Structure 1
Amino acid sequence: MADYHFVYKDVDGASTQWDDIQRKLGNLPPKPPAFKPPPFTPATDPDSQPKDTAWLDSKNPDELEELEDDPDLDDDRFLQEYRKKRLAEMQEAAKVLRFGSVIPISGSDFVREVSQAPSDVWVVVILYKEGIPECGLLMQSIEELAIKYPATKFVKIISTDCIPNYPDRNLPTLLVYNNGAVKGNYVGLHSFGRRCTPEGVALVLCQTDPVLNDGHNRDEQSRKAVIEGVRKRFIEKVVADHEEDDDDYSSD
């Protein structure tokens, strides 16, 4: 006859009343703690993360443009607020006039383009004539500054169109206007140092503060930053030219 044995196994971690009594008497070791699985933590889904300003700041301009056309984000309140804020920033930026080049004008344009320019716009006028090398040299510097400081208005006009019989020996001449009045007058290329460079011309123009405006801000702190930047670049240019002269002398 076969010997049948039945072994009962309770739930893992469970114990009988008898075991509990034996543990109280010290006849059995303490009952091990029941197994408890760690709490479930779902994997991070980037699309489900809250979309706040920090999330927007992590996006590049192209990604931001795509977000504006994303229909899935139309109902996100934060994005609506962002759009309002961005529109306000664009409207504020539009208030800052940007030129970015040397504008050619004629005598009949002078009053409108220079004398009647808005009071918060500084206008730099270069009087020149074609074929005069000194005019071409200064024009190169002015064109570079016009790009670097797009909120300052740079215009050029043939000297005799502006002032009849203006002598060529005074060319080139720079006139600085603000609020319809002349604020600076620089006659001849020698006004800008031994070497006419954009850095040197900028430093001279900084004597008429705040003629140079990069368009970022209009407060006093930003103006000082522009002037300090001009001075720094001028010093760096002088040092570089000095080192270049030393190298040329050594090579001879």
Structure 2
Amino acid sequence: MQVEVDPNEDTEWNDILRAHGIIPERPPSPSQVIDEAIERAREYQELHRLSDKSDSELSALEDEANNSSEDEFIAAYRRKRLQELTQLQIQRQKFGRVFPVSKPEYQKDVTDASKECFVLVHLSLQQNLQSKLLGGLFMRAAEKFGEVKFVDIPGSRAIEGYPDRNCPTLLVYKDTDVKKQYVTLGLIGGDGMRMEDLERILVDVGAVKENDSRLAENKRSKKRYDEDHDYDTDDEADLTKNKYGDDDDFDD
């Protein structure tokens, strides 16, 4: 005799059948789905609220938390933020210099290495002025962006018969592929190429974020902002005089 079973019924028999995989698990109730959605929204809102806070501000919020659950949430977020910052600092100190490579090392030090990070390659020519310029920029950029690997190899050694007129050539590797290629500096500043031009390439390929504080343009913008909002002592004296009057007024 065949017995019909309603899989949605909450019975002990159905629990046994579900445990043996005979009937499917009950779908979550609408109220459970709504509660989970509300909880995810709350967590997202909290994360968004905390994401722009400095470490000192997070510490202050942790001290001011009204209940244990809020205090625990802020503390956990702060620990996660510190771990991320520590990891980022380690990554930024990973390389820090330009690595000369030979052709036998190219596969390992460039192609394979690009699975883990961005690799910029300078196919150089020793007596070429533009190559000397790019080499100098590579040295500065390598110190500033330690998470990016900068590599130098003479063009004729990297590629047999590579024309001198194509040097310097700049290659950007990521995930074993060439993402960008510049033959000479004609399209990236020529003889007047600057650090900002190289940094723009790093931003365009995704090696460095647009808002990275290490970028030269961002540093200049911050300096201009600080100068615009920083009064020197003479300015402060003038403001004080305008507010309270000249010192002579107090003698009357």
TM-score (norm. length: structure 1): 0.49
TM-score (norm. length: structure 2): 0.49
Higher helix fraction: Structure 1 or Structure 2?
Answer: 2
Q: Which has the higher contact order (CA 8 A, sep 6+)?
A: 1
* Structure of higher CA gyration radius: 1
